[in-house]
Each structure stands twice: as structure tokens, then as C-alpha cells.
Amino acid sequence: MKNLFSIFLLLGVVAFVSGCEDDDDNIVLPTQFTVVIENVSTPQTVATDRANGTVPLSPPTYAVFTGDDPMFTPGEKANLGTARIAEDGFPTEMLSILASAGNVNFSAAAESPGGPDNGPALFAGESVTFSISAVPGNKFQFETMFVQSNDWFYAFTGGGLELFNGNTPISGDQTSRLAVYDAGTEQDTAPGTGPDQKPVQDPMATNVGPDEDVAVALASSRHAFTIPANNAVIKVTITPQP
């Protein structure tokens, strides 16, 4: 009898820490979503010899959160985490920011081992798949470097992606919700050009190239460069698990 009681107590604790209550005080169990991020770029997506004109992407670094986007805000200066991802593709600083953010439920970097680099970056034709757990009210955001740039990254617009419409989980291709942002931390040359973009830097170097100090903005709003369409480079699909 005591053991049975302990089990009920344990189940109650598990439900308390992993669920939330709706307006009627019913426990709402989290929904598991499968997230797939694909690099769909092809040779000459960007007119350059570097990486054969494909657009490598850095390991997508993501958060499930409530309220304000913990990664970046368009119109405000980038934090160090966004600068490191956007200039060099490294997630460490952002992961540390997310780990200490009070409104972040879960955060990680999704690595794509193997491929042309034999490393974690997401090269043309590669994808990463991971699961996230969320309840209504939760949002999802990620950053991944547009590697043929000085300091550009893809992320969701609007402060992150709402994972539920009311209490209904979203499902399907979310690529149209993405944008490519200029982090505003390094001066820009056209995609695939100039001496300071990631493909021509020392791969492990950080903060290479002349600084700039302006707010995060849509790359297309700041530059007249030819920028590939989002769906020529990246595809993001989010599917709730039954």
C-alpha cells in the first residue's frame, strides 16, 4: 500500500514538473514535436567558387521559451551569443546565455556530424532532426549562420514561432516564417565575397573582420546584395508526435 502511494505521489510530481494547467486546472501534458532543419542549397545558390556556391549552415542553436525572444530582437544590438553564431557559427556563448535565461524551458545546439566537413556544420544536402517538448504558450526560436556572409543568420521572425494555435499544435513546413538577419556586428561584403567571411577564415577563429556596431536587421533591408530566397537554402519542418 505504501509503495502504491509512493508511485501515485511520484506520478503527481512528474505531472507537476512536466505539464501545466489549463484554465480549468486540468493538467495539460506536453506535446512532443519533431523538428527537421534541412540545408537545401545547391551548387551556385550563391555565385561564388567558395563551397561550390552552396550555403553551409552552422549547427542550429535553439530554445523553447515563453515571452520575449531570449536570442535576439530586431532593432536592438545583438548579444555576444548571436554575434558568435552569425560571424563564426559557434554556439557556445549563446548556449550559456540560454542556460541562464529565466524564460527558457530547454535549449541546445543541433549538430550534423559527418558530411564534407566531417564536423557539426549543416552542409548542402544534410539535415538535423531533434525533438522538443512544449505546452500551449511556448515558442521556438533558433539561429543558424548563413556561412557565405560576414554576420548573417536565419531565425524566425516575430520573436519566435508559436508552437500552438490556441491549444492545437502547429504542423508542417515553417520555412516561410524565416528571415535572414544581419547581426550588425561585422561589416558586410556580398554573399560569397570579401576576405573576412567564414569560408576563407581560419575555421576556428572568431571575430575576424572589421566590426560594425548597429542593430540586428533584416539583411534585405540593409543591403542591395543578391540574397538567395530562404527556401533555396533552408527548410524547417515541425511535426507534432501523435
Sites of contact with Ca ion (CB under 5 A): 151, 182, 188, 196, 208-209
- For 31, the enclosing helix (H) or strand (E) is strand 31-39
Of 148 and 230, the one with the shorter C-beta distance to Ca ion is: 148
Alpha carbon 62 to chain centroid, angstroms: 5
Q: How far apart are the first and last CA of the chain?
A: 34
CB of 145 to Ca ion, least distance (A): 10
* Burial letters 176-199, b for 16+ CB under 10 A, else e: ebbbbbbbbbbebbbbbbeebbbe
CB of 197 to Ca ion, least distance (A): 6
Return the C-alpha cell found at 175.
520555412
CB of 198 to Ca ion, least distance (A): 6
Alpha carbon 49 to chain centroid, angstroms: 27
Cβ neighbour number for residue 171 with a 10 Å cutoff: 12
Of 143 and 151, the one with the shorter C-beta distance to Ca ion is: 151
- For 98, the enclosing helix (H) or strand (E) is helix 92-99
Of 93 and 182, the one with the shorter C-beta distance to Ca ion is: 182
CB of 167 to Ca ion, least distance (A): 40
Of 83 and 238, the one with the shorter C-beta distance to Ca ion is: 83
CB of 152 to Ca ion, least distance (A): 7
CB of 31 to Ca ion, least distance (A): 37
Give one DSSP letter per residue of 188-219, joined into a string: ---TT-STTSGGGS-TT--S-S-B-----EEH
Of 141 and 185, the one with the shorter C-beta distance to Ca ion is: 185
- CA triplet 184, 190, 194: central angle to 5 degrees? 95
Of 222 and 235, the one with the shorter C-beta distance to Ca ion is: 222
Q: Which residue is nearest to Ca ion (CB)?
A: 209
